[in-house]
Structure formats: C-alpha cells, structure tokens
Copies of this chain bind each other. A is one copy, B any other.
C-alpha cells in the first residue's frame, strides 16, 4: 500500500484542515503552507465551555483517538466538543509524506512537541474561537503534548490528564527510540528517507515493529499469552498480525518525524531546564495516569512527574497490556481510562 493511500480519508475518515500558512518551527525552518489536520466530535456550546482536546500518540492519526471517544464513554460527543488535532508528521497535517520540495521526505525539517502545541493553539484560538479547555488528555506522545499544553498555556487548560507519558523524556526512554529508529532505517531501501514508495521500506517497517513487541507490553503479557485476547493463535501470529500489520502501511519518514519529537519532549525548555519549575506552572487540575506495567514510561517516572505538579493525583491502570493499553483491546483498560477521565472532569475549577 502506498503511504498516500494509508493517510487518506477513505481509511481515516473526513478531516478538517486549518491553514497555518508560513509557520516558523522551533528549529528555525519556515514550513510554508503548513496545515494542521483535525477531527471534531460533538457540538461546540454557545458559551464555548465544553471543549476537550485529545492529541494523539506516536504512529496514530486523529482517527485513532476514536478508541477513546463515543456515546457512553467519558469522552461523549453528546456532551463535549472534542477536538482531536493531528500533529506534524502525522500524515494528514504537514508531514514528510505530503510536503513538496525542498521539505519533502528525508528533508522535512525537525519539529518539536512545542511546534505541535503552538499550531493547535492557533487552531483553537484563531479558527475556532476557543479560549478555555475543560480538559486536555492524551497518551504517550499525546501525554507529552498534554504536558506541553498545561505548562505553556496554563490559563487556558482547566484540567489535564496525561497518560503513560513524561513531561521530559527520560534518558532510558531515548534508548527505545534509538532501537526503533535504527531498526526502521536499517533497511537499505530507506535511502536516507528518499525512497520511491513507503512500501519499498517494508523490511524496515517490519523490523521497527519488533521494538514495540519488546517493550510495548510487558513480560507477563507474553507469559499469560494475553495476545489471545486480541484474537491471535500464536506468538508469531501476534507479531506478524498485530505488530507488523499495524506499522506496515505507514510512512517511515512520518514515523521518524514523530519519534524525533518524542525523543526531545521536554517542558523544562520553558524554564532553563528546571523541571520542577516548569511543572510548578501548571494550574490545571491534574490526574496523571500511569500504567502498572508500562515499559516505555515506567510508573516510577510518572509518579515523579505527578509529585511536581501542584495538587496533582497519580492513578495507576493495572493491566498486562503495558504501554499499549491505550489501544483498549481490553474492555477493562477502556473502563480504567474512562474512570480517570470522569474523575478529572468532575474536579471543580475556578
């Protein structure tokens, strides 16, 4: 499948697009004709006081977060106006896969989590006229964006629920990014990002999936053969049918654009490297959602973040699905996420 076919509305549903025009990135490059794709669910209230922002995780699109949204869920479109922004490199927003020369493919400029959040802020304020977010929430890179929102725009973020993420990517976690990126780019067909078609890099995409098999779940996941619950008949079946199948249709440069942001996520860039000072800026009512078996952003690191946020609470999701619990393969993982979101939304704000 061509990357352009994967990043299509046929597969991911209708998107809206906000023209950022000439967007100056933190890296100093000007992304000309930049655009931010997004999806919305529900109806914006007249007072514009029912908005929830749900940035997405690595490798996802705005459509992916529909795993968390729906009638009967906490993120209920009948009640809230839910904005699911894309991110640079996500395949719908400006990305290596859809940007013309000179910024095409392997020459796409470096982007930061801060760039994503600034673009989203412009979408909300300039285009949608929104000044107040009842909640910002997301998992993994979505959680990194949640932290960036809460630190950068504290007066706008009433509540925050970062899941399975850290406010500053820990050194250990960058080793995972090393492995994932190295596996992906090890394919000779990668050619420094100037392949003809993403499917040429199928070997790299399959190899890259191995990193997520190793640390995406946890040892108990494999011992209990929990992949059976996702409908697979053997470990090999799961590796090919779930891990490889998930990444195979994606664009390598898009993934690398995202992983570069993931690696460098750091709210303390706002406070000269003082993480406590950065998190101390947060005025949002915050619940930090950690996953008991998370090998990407382990519980201990999440606990440390929570301890630096004024009044924040730590909540732990107990599951063998590890970091990938966000996919809600298990009903109980969805219920645990919904419960945390329900509780954070119930917290009173000024």
Contacts and interface: CB of A to CB of B under 8 A. Distances in A.
Contact of A219 (B172, B183, B186, B221): B172
B211 A179 contact: yes
A328 interface: no
Nearest to A298: B219
Contacts of A211: 179
A338 interface: no
Interface in A268-290: none
A301 interface: yes
Interface residues of A, number: 32
Contact of A170 (B171, B187, B215, B219): B219
A301 B223 contact: yes
A273 to B, nearest CB: 15
Interface of A: 170-176, 178-179, 182-183, 186-188, 207, 210-211, 213-215, 218-223, 225, 235, 295, 298, 300-301
Given A179-B214, A295-B295, 8 more contacts: A175-B213, A176-B214, A179-B183, A179-B211, A183-B186, A186-B186, A219-B298, A219-B300
8 tightest CB-CB pairs across the interface, nearest first?
A: A186-B186, A171-B222, A172-B219, A172-B222, A175-B214, A175-B213, A179-B210, A219-B298
